[in-house]
Amino acid sequence: MFLVSLLRRIAFSYYDYKAYNFNIEKTDFVVIHIPDQIGDAMAIFPVIRALELHKIKHLLIVTSTINLEVFNALKLGHPVYLFLREFSLQDFRGGSNRLN
* Residue 56: domain span: 24-94
pLDDT per residue as tens digits for the range 82-97:
888 776 555 555 544 4
Residue 8 lies in a domain: no
Decide if 83 is inside a domain.
yes
DSSP structure string for 52-78? HHTT-SEEEEEEEGGGHHHHHHH---T
- Taking the C-alpha atoms of residue 20 and residue 13, their distance in angstroms, rounded to an integer, is 16
Question: Rounded mean pLDDT of 54-60?
Answer: 83
Is pLDDT of 39 > 70?
A: yes
Is 9 a member of any domain? no
| Confidence at residue 11, expressed as pLDDT on a 0 to 100 scale | 83
Cross-strand bridge partners of residue 84: 63
Q: What is the tens place of the pLDDT at every residue in 2-16?
A: 888 888 888 888 777
